[in-house]
Each structure stands twice: as C-alpha cells, then as structure tokens.
Structure 1
Amino acid sequence: MPASLNEIKTKIASTKKTSQITGAMQMVSAAKLQKSESHAKNYQIYASKVRQVTVDLIAHDKGPSKNPMLLKRPLIKKKGYLVITSDRGLVGGYNANILKSVMSELMKEKDEESFSVMALGGMGADFFKARGIKVAYELRNLSDQPSFDEVRHIVSEAVDLYQAEEFDELYVCYNHHVNSLVSQVRMEKMLPISFDTVEETPSKAETLFEYEPDRDNILNQLLPQYAESMIYGSIVDAKTAEHAAGMAAMRTATDNAHNVINDLTIQYNRARQAAITQEITEIVAGAAAL
C-alpha cells in the first residue's frame, strides 16, 4: 500500500534532521583530524631525536649488546598484543578491520596461555571480553589528542611486562593513518627492539655525540624510553586514523541521507500528483453525471 502524503513528509523531515546531525559530526571530526595531524607531526620531532640517539648507540655499539630489550629470546613461549581501538562506534570499519586482523592472529596461537591481550579503547576491550578472551589491562576514554601522561600507565605496563618476561614479544596492533580516506592495519613488533629495524648511520655520526657515563648505562635508561616513544607514536597515529574514519563515515551517512531525501521527495511529488489527478477525475466524473 502506498504511503500517505503525511507519512512521506514525516520521513523527509526526520531524514533532514539526521543529515544535519551527521553533517555536524562530520565537521567536528574534520576539526579533530586537523588537530590530530598537527599533534602527530609535532611529536615526530621528538621521536626522531630519540631515534637518532638510539640508532647511533646501537649501530656503533662495541660487540653484541647484552641489553635484554635488544636480545631475541631463544624460545617464544608467549606473545603480548596491545590492541588500539576507539571507545565508541560511528567510525565506519575502523574497529572491525583491526579486530578482525587481531583475531586472525590469535586463532593461530595454541591456547590462551600463549598470548596476552591489552586493550586501549572500549570497543576492543568489550569485543575480547564478549568472546571470553582475558584482557590483561585496559584503558578507556582517551581524549581526542591524548598526551603521554594519559597513556603512560598502559605504555609503561607493556614495557615492564616484557622486561619481567611475562611475554617474549610485544606487538602493537593499530590502524595507520595514510590520508583522510585510507588507513592501513599494522601489527608491529615493538619488543625486542631489532637491529633489522634500525638503519645504519654513517661512521661520522659517532662523533656527533659524547656520552657520559658509558653507552651500556645509557642504553639501559634510553631503550625503555625509546620503546615507550614508539608505542605512544602508534597511539597518536591510531587516533588520527580514528578521526579520519569518523569523518569519512559521517560524510557517507550525510550523502546517503541526502539521497534518501531526494528519493522521498520524488515519491512525495508523485503521490501528490496522483492525488490531484484523482480529485480532478472525480470532479469531472461528477460533472458528467449531472
């Protein structure tokens, strides 16, 4: 049965209100994305300096390093996964993509004793709990541009658990921000810090730094900070991708709402034309009867 004119008008009005909401949310996400990209860019200045010093220390270390954060353990009995998601939905496939990839990795493990999951974001924590997977540590309700103080505990916890040999490898799983339309799922091994991920520096770089006390003592202090900076950088990157996904999802929702409004408007005009035609027919028929 065709919908009445009043029903169509009600649907058009409600859809317009929805499009106004999604349009506003798109603008908010765009503003958050701009701030997050600026925050990520500024953080890279600090991260590059820490990396420069660390690379110089590792690349010019005399002989094999004895630091446990650089040594690959002979037997990998347990892996740690730090999974970064959002605290809420309305971000398109942002959470689904990363959680699907993580679950694919966890299914390869023998049992739950062979991995440990830490969740940054409510969507990930609730996802794992709903499937009976124990979450060793969780952190919710991050700000739109999280400071290091906000995530210090979970970042330090991940590094401390590795140093305490609670797990033998640490993977950070997140969405890498490419641009406002594209993000890539990444599962990066953060610990142990590998020589394979460190570029060789020219020999003259060794003269750029003078160290006091010796390099081993500095490495003992620097490597945990370096690992923490890499993890925090992933969090900032993931948050930027989240804002981009939210903006794209709201733009798509707004466009869909406009399409629905156009279709309903056409339907309304056709129904109104049919009603007018019916009235004219009845009037003509009544006049003819007289």
Structure 2
Amino acid sequence: MRRLQVPEPVIDEALLAQCRAAFPVLPASSAFSHVTAARLLGLPLSYAIAEDVRLHAIRPIAHAQTRIDGIVGHRFHHPREMVTVDGMQVVCPADTWVDMGELVGRGRPVGLDDLIVLGDACATRLGAVEPLRVALGRRTRPRGKRTLQEALGLIRFGSASPMESVVRVMFVRAGLPEPLLNEPVHASDGSGRLLGFGDLVWKIHRPGKKPVKVIGEYQGEEFHASDEQREHDKHRRRGFERDGWTVQEIWKSDVSDDQAWRSLVERMAWSLRVPADELRLSEVSPRFFSQHAIDVAIQRGMRNGVSPRW
C-alpha cells in the first residue's frame, strides 16, 4: 500500500481532557466511538457534525447500554477494531466511518459528501480504500447502508485535505476526467527528476496529439498564504510549466457558491480539452442525500402528487 506524507492530526486538548476524565468511569469494554472517535483520530468533520460536543462511547450488545450524563451510549453487535489514543480505547478509522452511517438521514448531521470526505481521510491514513470496504462488509444491514455504499464508490486514496476531496468529487460529477491525487510529477526529459507533487493531476493521452498535462492546486489559506509559502509555490509552478504542464490554482473563492463552481469547472474543462457540451454543470452542488434517497422521495412524491422538498 502506498503511504502519503500528511501532517499528523492535531487533537483538541480540551477534547482530550474531557475524554481522560470520562474514560475511567465508563463501563468495562467501552471505547469512544462515532463523532468522538472521529475527533480523537483527527478526522475531518463538517461544522454540523462537529457541533455535537457530547462524548460517544460504545460497548458490546451483551452489556447494558451506557447511561451517564453527557455521554451518548451505543452498543454493537458486530465487533469493531480498536486503536489506542492517549491510553484510551477508540474505534478504529474504518469502523468509525461505517458507524457514522448511523447519523445519516433527514434531520441528521451526516450526508453523502460528509462520508466521502471522511472516507478519503481514512483511506489516506490507512493506505488504501479496501479497509473501509472490509469494515462495511462485516456489518449486516448497517444504518445508512445505501449512503455508505454510494460514498464508498467515490472514496479515493491520496487526498491530503477535505477541500481536495470536495473539489475532486465535484469535478467528476460535472463530467471532467478523474484526476490522480497528490501524484509525483517527474521531469519528461527521462532524468527521473522529481518536480513535485500535484494535488490533482491529469495526464491524458490523445491519438496523434501531444498529451494534455494539467495540475490543479488547491491553495488553502492556512498553508499557502504566507510570503515564504507563496514563493515556494511560485518556484514549483515554474518547474511544472517549463515541463509542459498547465497549472490551475484553486482558491476558496472558486468554491464559494454554485456560480463560482461552474466557472471553475468551465476553466478546468478548457485546460483539459473537454467540450462544454459534455459538462454536467447542474451537478456541481454539494450532495447531502444519496441517489437512492432522492429516487425514493421522487417516487413517493409522484404517488402523492407532490414534489419532494430538500
């Protein structure tokens, strides 16, 4: 399995202190799970999910449910793999991803795109998507199964940030070819010299024509706003361009609303030589509900003579 160099997750000290205080009073065979596990593992969560500041803990179904103020008790029938964080038992990344399916649905905080972003982070941490597939396959009729399955089909190894995941999925939905993620880019002169790593890399071969070589770089403000980092980015970009690559920078303003998304997709399509009539610009909006949920709502609305409201 390929490993990607990503920064170590930063865990909120207040959360660690809260968990350290609660762990000794949890019943035996308990482990932190769901939202709490994701936060302890440093996995990306949307604002809606992260608003749940309660502690979540899980234990085998043979035991009574945990009933302690401030702690949401869960029980499991299918075994989970555990990891240790600061000496505390925590459900592992792959099983935590499946557990988040319990929080999917209308009025709940977890949607399809949340599971894709979370799944990308888990796959990159674990070195492959397969551990997520195995974890889901171990469960019999898990909650949120349809949404988890749809998300699984869109999860990829290699994303180094939540926005890289969001941008990739939106590009694919809009009809652009799927890029490679954080791919090493080597000089084309045969020297094997590494020019750098591209966030989103396309190299498309066309019969009788020069290959289309495009790199999309998401310029997160937290990593690319300093003068020093900007100078480094400029030097790296020049190296890519001298080797025949087109570099498209993607900023927060490019993904601020649907119109900005459409403009970004059209710009990338021009660089990738994708005809405008092949684009699906109506698909650039974020997706909360799975296609199955949408289809069911439409069918129900047709039977009742009303249109579904999202």
How does the TM-score come out when normalised to structure 1? 0.23
**Structure with a larger share of its residues in helix:** 1
Larger radius of gyration: 1
Which of 1 and 2 has higher RCO (CA within 8 Å, sep 6+)? 1
**Structure with a larger share of its residues in strand:** 2
